[in-house]
Structure 1
Amino acid sequence: MKMGEKRSLKILNFKYTGLFSIDDLYSIVDDWITDKGYDRFEPFYEEIVEETGKQIKLKFTPWKKTSDYAKNILKTKFIITDCHDVVVEMDGKKKKIQKGNIHVKIEVMIETDYEGKMVNKPFYFFIRELFDRFIYKTYTRQAEGLAIEDANHLWLTIRQFFNVTYR
């Protein structure tokens, strides 16, 4: 059974070079996902140790149903390169953190008819297209606006983490 239509709405990028804690970053993003009511799906984690340092790829896709017809998806990817562990002193205590380059990419998507109720037969598919264009248009735009707003907030949360925590 074919699922509903997924549309990409916006892509946000962020690059950072310097000190960071992978554990703290993961915790901040996980807390944000929980606080905003998203469900988390983590399809991919890869860590490769090379001479230049660790290369880490982490992809996860938090999603949230905004109605019985649409859900917001924030396809999030972290690519960390030249990552090395370093020990720093923070508040009088030694802490192991990382130093390296990080690229964050958040793709904002919306999926309509995510349960695939209206695509079983050509007539239903036609009806779904009519609903999407004329009846659900207002609701879909609201869901799109909320998805973009949430993605912008997640992006700012990640940027603030890097700009404040280890500078």
Structure 2
Amino acid sequence: MTDPAAVVALLRSRGETVAAAESLTAGLVTAALTSVPGASAVVRGGLVVYATDLKHALAGVDEALLAAHGAVHPEVARQLAVGARTRCGATWGLGLTGVAGPDPQDGVAPGTVHVAVSNETGTAVETMTLGGDRHAVRSQSVDGVLALLVTRLTSTSG
């Protein structure tokens, strides 16, 4: 489990900031980070883009991509992360999209989650197949994107 306090401390030590565009987690990532005292020094904000049209309107996800592939797609996660970073003026952007269940969405099975982490040098996207109920899938998604952020933070110079 990735400790949000450790993520905040790592961002702080680097003088960097983060923002998130969240679909299936509906703000849980931003809430986890801002539960840490001093998070205001590194958390720029978050976009809850639960509805597909808001992924385009608020985070800048390409409408043609959404029309062709639906909201649960690795490229959607990538564009959410880039949109969070650029629209919130952060060093790092996080993007999450997936199906928490219990039912499939647009033919995509529950537990399918795409997370992305973006900075000015590029974006990493990871696809996860998660088990459990809605709560478990959403919690694991938060941990997954924070773990990916830590991996990117510790593999780039500060």
TM-score (norm 1): 0.29
Between Structure 1 and Structure 2, which shows a larger proportion of helix residues? 2
Of the two structures, which has the highest relative contact order with CA contacts closer than 8 Å and spacing of 6 or more? Answer: 1
Query: Between Structure 1 and Structure 2, whose CA radius of gyration is higher?
Result: 1
